[in-house]
Chains A and B, each alone.
Chain A
Amino acid sequence: MTLLLEKPARAPAMTDKAPYWTMRRRDELAGWLMVAPQLAGIVAFVIVPLGLVVWYSLHEWNVLAGSFTFIGADNYAALADDQQLGPVLRATGLFSAGLVVLNLSLALFLAVLLNQKLRGTVVFRTLFFSPVVVTLVAWTIVWGFLLQDNGGVNAFLDVLGIDGPNWLRSGGTAMASVIVVQLFKNVGLNMVLFLAALQGVPAELYEAARIDGASAWARFRRVTVPLISPTILLTMILTIVGSLQVFAQIAVLTQGGPGTSTTVLVYYLYQQAFQFHHFGYGATLSLLLFLIVLVLTVVQWRMRRRWVFHEN
């Protein structure tokens, strides 16, 4: 591999002109060759499809009927009139907000617990992390089984004398159930990131705060949180963007129901495009999803400047 690029450098050195293949030029070529697969992939599988999404959204496209007609902004008008859109966005927001708040709090709580000087924390760390490596659909199926009306969760509640609801079939609890299932699946990932951040906080700072008479809570609030704020922001971005992509959990647990209470945007988009074959309208929904991801990312990136205490 090395020789491939070395050769031309030596060959044409007979004239008094500088050789064409200078180190600079070879670096240029090597740089472009090395990024070429990634660049080609992004153009083919991200940029072009994104352009096509815009193009499709201007068309009425029914795959079954084989029709593909330019209709201008009609899909956008339909979007504005869509009675379902309100509930769908509400479900999406509820899922994302609920998941992010619970996930970050629990992850930080577990990380602080594991950061105590106790024997055996590695065992607990392994246990908390293990759902991350369990097949997503497998994890979802077990919880679906546990959350059946006559399933494990209600059976245990029954033993305690509590009459549990039909978790996945009642409007009030279906969304909460989906959030909880996803929470325990992936909270270990954020926990590990927090744990690494906590271990990076210099012990002297705690010592100094202690000498100044700061309580445990004050030390956490004034020393720990500011120092790990870059990690908080990072996990927040990853968790929010991830939460907008939730699909398998909904498809397996509730199919968007009951009613539309758990129909999040990606699930709605899947239904419109691949179950009702409205590709044009589906593309319009895709653009909406893209805009949401874009706005959230930009907002968080801006927050970074004001809110994150230090950056290296």
Chain B
Amino acid sequence: MKTRPGMSPRLKVLLYGVLLVCCVPFVFPIWWMATTSLKPLSEIFAFPPSPLPGSPTLDAYRQVFELQPFGRQYLNSLYIAAVVTLGTLAVSALAGYAFARIRFRGAGIVFMIVLTGLLVPNEVTIIPLYRMFDTLGLVDTHWPLILIPMLGAPSVLATFIMRQFFITLPAELEEAGRVDGLGRFGLFWRICLPLARPAVGAVAIFTFLHSWNLYLEPIVFLSSKSKFTIPQALTQYVDAYGGPMWNTQLAAATLSALPVLIIFVLAQRQFVEGLAQTGLKG
């Protein structure tokens, strides 16, 4: 790519300036979260505010684990998100493949039924969902947090993305597979799925984040602290008057955010380009 004519050094400086200013509301809160979590209580509302802790301490981090079974809660969030991601991948890849490549009777109607999931966010059905899982005796377990995202409305976007991807594959690929004696599941598993890596990546990323961020469902379904997920646990660090214990909340928030952030920075190309290139393009 040749540089554009007319991109003067002056314009460049201006553009960098604008970019840097734009960064502030994105980066500063993350910086502030991490640094405040290391400040002693006396410093967190100090004026003038200091970008770095004067006398850094890990007190807040100790409290995070003393006041709640935070390690347990962290594991809860992790394993729920992992199971939901794997489950969604399986469900959506199979369904997306069938909708894209198999002409079976009723496919059109089934597809319309599945697409209703896009119109009915879980917020709409949270009351009956609560009653259903209550009837089954599964309230205050992790089942609703796993089954609903994996099979219900949130999985539909995943299926749609998979379908959009599988539709683009040329028919010759499958014909070649047929000649080699593969059946439908063989064509899916050996030929099409390995090619779907970008779609799989995109679905995995946004499914994981969706599960990791869930808030309404956990506070509706879970009541014992040892079963809580991270988002729910974060808001539980309050003092005797119900006011937030800021440095403890921020320490827990930092612990929840950092690992995902680090993975993101290391694999940002896959994240960003994967999301941009797959079916989400419309």
A47 CA / B115 CA spacing, docked (Å): 11
Say if the beta carbon of A76 comes within 8 Å of chain B. Answer: no
Q: Is the Cβ of B127 less than 8 Å from the Cβ of A2?
A: no
B38 within 8 A of A: no
User: Which A residues touch B252, using CB under 8 A?
Assistant: 138
Question: When the two chains form the complex, which single residue of A34, A56, A130, A155 contacts B27, counting CB atoms closer than 8 Å?
Answer: A130
With known contacts A45-B129, A137-B213, A38–B94 Cβ distance under 8 A: yes
Most buried by A among B151, B246, B260: B151
Known A35-B95, A134-B260, A155-B49; judge A49-B231 contact (CB<8 A): no
Cα-based distance from A165 to B270 in the complex (angstroms): 41
Q: Does any Cβ of B come within 8 Å of A26's Cβ?
A: yes
B67 at the interface (CB under 8 A from A): no
Complex contacts, A110 vs chain B, CB 8 Å: 22
Provide the bound-state CA to CA distance between A6 and B48, in Å: 74
Q: How far does the Cβ of B230 sit from chain A's closest Cβ, in whole Å?
A: 6
- Give the nearest-CB partner of A247 in chain B: B216
- B window 70-95: CB within 8 A of A: 90-92, 94-95
Query: Which residues of B sit under 8 angstroms from A132, Cβ to Cβ?
Result: 209
Question: In the complex, what distance in Å separates the CA atom of A197 from the CA atom of B282?
Answer: 10
Stretch of A11-19, A79-87, A93-101, A113-121 contacting B (4+ beta carbons < 8 Å) = A113-121
A 135-168 to B, binary, CB cutoff 8 A, 1 in contact else 0: 1111101111110101110011011000000000
Q: How many residues of A contact B (CB 8 A)?
A: 102
Whether B241 sits at the interface, judged by CB under 8 Å, is: no
A6 to B256, CA, bound (A): 48
- Give B87's nearest chain A residue, CB to CB: A37
Interface of A is mostly: helix
Nearest Cβ on chain B to A299's Cβ, whole angstroms: 13
- Digitize A183-215: 1 where CB-to-B-CB distance is under 8 Å, 0 elsewhere: 010001100110111000000000000000000
Q: A27–B128 contact, CB under 8 A?
A: no
On chain B, the residues within 8 Å of A155 by CB distance are 47-49
Query: What 1/0 mask marks residues of chain B from 231 to 260 whose CB sits below 8 Å from any chain A CB?
Result: 110110000000010100110111011001
A252: Cβ under 8 A from any B Cβ: yes
Chain B nearest Cβ from A179, distance in angstroms: 13
Chain B residues within an 8 Å CB radius of A46:
116-117, 120, 125, 152-153
- B contact residues around A49 at 8 Å (CB): 125, 128-129, 132
Q: Which of B121, B213, B271 is within 8 Å of A244, CB to CB?
A: B121
B147 within 8 A of A: yes
Task: Find the B residue at minimum CB distance from A45.
Answer: B152
Give chain A nearest CB distance to B213 CB in angstroms: 4
Q: Are B95 and A184 in contact (CB under 8 A)?
A: no
A182 to chain B, nearest CB (A): 12
Shortest CB distance A29–B (Å): 8
In angstroms, how far is the closest chain B Cβ from the Cβ of A186?
10
Do B119 and A297 touch across chains, with their CB atoms under 8 A apart? yes
A56 to B132, CA, bound (A): 13
A138 lies within 8 A of B253 (CB):
yes
Q: Does B45 reach chain A (CB closer than 8 Å)?
A: yes
A58 within 8 A of B: no
Q: Is the CB of A117 within 8 A of B123?
A: no
- A127 x B129 contact (CB < 8 A): no
- Complex contact B121–A113 (CB within 8 A): no
Q: A46–B212 Cα gap in the complex (Å)?
A: 21
C-alpha spacing A34/B92, complex, angstroms: 9
For B130, the chain A residues whose CB sits under 8 A away are 274
Please give, as numbers and ranges, the residues of chain B lying within 8 Å of A248 by CB-CB distance. Answer: 213, 215-216, 231
- Residue-wise, chain B 149-166 has the 8 Å CB interface mask toward A (1 for contact) of 011110110010000000
Tell whether, in the assembled complex, residue B151 and residue A37 are in contact, meaning their CB atoms are under 8 Å apart.
yes
Contacts of A134 in B (CB 8 A): 30, 257, 260-261
A117 and B3 form a contact (CB under 8 A): yes
In the complex the two chains form, is A197's CB within 8 Å of B281's CB? yes
A42 touches B272 (CB 8 A): no
**Residue A218 interfacial (CB < 8 Å):** no
Contacts A35-B94, A41-B155, A233-B282 aside, 18 further interface pairs with beta carbons under 8 A come to A2-B182, A30-B104, A34-B102, A45-B148, A48-B128, A50-B116, A50-B120, A52-B131, A126-B268, A130-B265, A133-B260, A135-B257, A138-B253, A139-B29, A142-B29, A196-B281, A245-B123, A248-B216
Partner-B contacts on A (CB < 8 A): 1-6, 26-28, 30-32, 34-35, 37-50, 52-53, 56, 110, 113, 116-118, 122, 124-139, 141-146, 148, 150-152, 155-156, 158-159, 180, 184, 188-189, 192-193, 195-197, 230-231, 233-234, 241, 244-245, 247-248, 251-252, 266, 269-270, 273-274, 279, 282-283, 286-287, 289-290, 293-294, 297
Can you spell out 24 A-B residue pairs with CB atoms less than 8 angstroms apart?
A1-B186, A4-B185, A5-B183, A6-B181, A31-B104, A34-B97, A35-B107, A38-B92, A38-B151, A41-B150, A48-B132, A110-B22, A135-B253, A142-B33, A155-B47, A193-B276, A196-B273, A231-B281, A244-B123, A252-B235, A269-B123, A290-B120, A290-B124, A293-B119
Q: Which B positions have Cβ atoms within 8 angstroms of A?
A: 1, 3-4, 7, 12, 15-16, 18-19, 22-23, 25-27, 29-30, 32-33, 36, 45, 47-49, 90-92, 94-95, 97-99, 102-107, 110, 113-114, 116-121, 123-132, 147-148, 150-153, 155-156, 159, 181-186, 188-189, 209, 212-213, 215-216, 219-220, 230-232, 234-235, 244, 246, 249-250, 252-254, 256-257, 260-261, 263-265, 268-269, 271-273, 275-277, 280-282
